[in-house]
Amino acid sequence: MPSRNGSVCVRLRSLSKLEDKERCVWKVEDHYVIHTDADNGRRDADIRRDTDARRSSTYTGDHVFGPESTNEQVYREAVEALVHDAVEGKNVTIMVYGQTGSGKTHTMGTPEAPGIIQRGLMDIFELIAEKEDRDFLLRFSFLEIYNENVTDLLSPEKVPKPLLIKEDRVVGPVVLGLSEEIVTCPEDVLRLLRQGEARRHVAASKMNERSNRSHTVSRMVLESRPAGCEVSTSTPVIVSNLVLVDLAGSESVAKTGAEGERLKESSCINKSLLALGEVVFKLSEGALAAGAHIPYRDSKLTRILKPSLGGNCKTMIICTVNPAARHTEESHRTLRFACRAKRVVNTVVVQEVMSETAAARWQAKALKELQRRRAEGMCVRLVDF
């Protein structure tokens, strides 16, 4: 039976140094995010007693975090279990959604403040090390969607060419020509992330000194098989995906002062987020079960995320909120999106495959590891593979 295998996390950040003169009109109370300036300035206690007003000024999520929360707390309480699921063979997607400057990049993680990405990577390799009964092969890819063009952030080309998306009947959307790197430790993935982030489109705006002008999707494919098993086309391989989506923030052109190229970027960002919102709305209304049309093809973002939205995947959407009064309407939109996303139904199963392609990848892994050990002067026993 299909079930709601998606979940929603809401994170309210504190006012920044640039906003210290702003009025803070949102707060977290228990599992609720409450707009404290609602209904013509009535006192919070009065609003909470009024059911209709509460519906319009109060939102909830599966996890709700206030300004005092840390990245570690968000990861441990909302995300850690999903990383475990990925290692166990279930598809997992984690995406951050919210207005520009609301704390998405901070939540995903930076070198100064490790977040979901860094903590998740460390946990993956620690969990794999504990599973002595299975061997793992990990592959990593990293793409960018900028002005509705999909490019490979790990491409060796100085100026990567736009890539096409093809629909495969078995695996769903496939980005043709997207490179994948075999990774064996957290440092491998962090190196690739730094390499890709350095090529990502960013720019300053009135709301953010370093505003992401594109969406990025990083994916780790986890394949595992019984330990010590001979590699062949009859060897069952469990395959799962851990997908991390760092969405560009929704923008008000009047507030960001976008013009020229920045205006074009803002238009593309808002259009793709609108398409995402429409897909989530359709799914929340039961369109998938009813066999109704779902507009995945309205943007490159929703085409690529199709397996994560209503498919075989556990999906966590982390909605970040700016508490300042002048961003109230944008915050309401983010929280309404969160409420709709909570109603999306996914069906999650462990995928097991047997194919020549899977066997070939395991042989390639063995060869790469053999070459690495020889280069480092390590003693190699073929039984290791």
Binding residues for ATP: 98-105
Cβ neighbours, 10 Å, residue 217: 24
Cβ neighbours, 10 Å, residue 242: 24
Phi-psi region at 225: left, alpha or beta (left = phi > 0; alpha = psi -120 to 50):
beta
Spatial separation of the C-alpha atoms in residues 333 and 328, rounded to whole Å? 9
Q: Which of 40, 117, 45, 28 is nearest to 75 (CA)?
A: 117
DSSP for 78-128, please give it: IIHHHHHHHHTT--EEEEEEEBTTSSHHHHH--SSS--HHHHHHHHHHHHH
Q: Are 314 and 299 in contact (CB under 8 A)?
A: no
What's the residue count for the chain? 385
Q: Which 3-state string (H, E, C) describes 189-248?
A: HHHHHHHHHCCCCEECCCCCCCEECCEEEEEEEEEEEECCCCCCCCCCEEEEEEEEEECC
What residue spans of the chain are helical by DSSP H? 44-49, 51-57, 71-74, 80-87, 104-108, 116-130, 186-197, 253-256, 261-284, 287-290, 300-304, 328-341, 356-375
Q: Which residues are annotated as a binding site?
A: 98-105
Spatial separation of the C-alpha atoms in residues 116 and 381, rounded to whole Å? 36
Q: Are 279 and 309 in contact (CB under 8 A)?
A: yes
Q: Which of 258, 240, 223, 247 is nearest to 364 (CA)?
A: 223
If DSSP codes are grouped into helix, strand and coil, which group holds residue 323? coil
Spatial separation of the C-alpha atoms in residues 261 and 258, rounded to whole Å? 8
- 111 Cβ contact partners less than 8 Å away, ≥ 6 residues apart: none
Site of tokens 């504990």 = 130
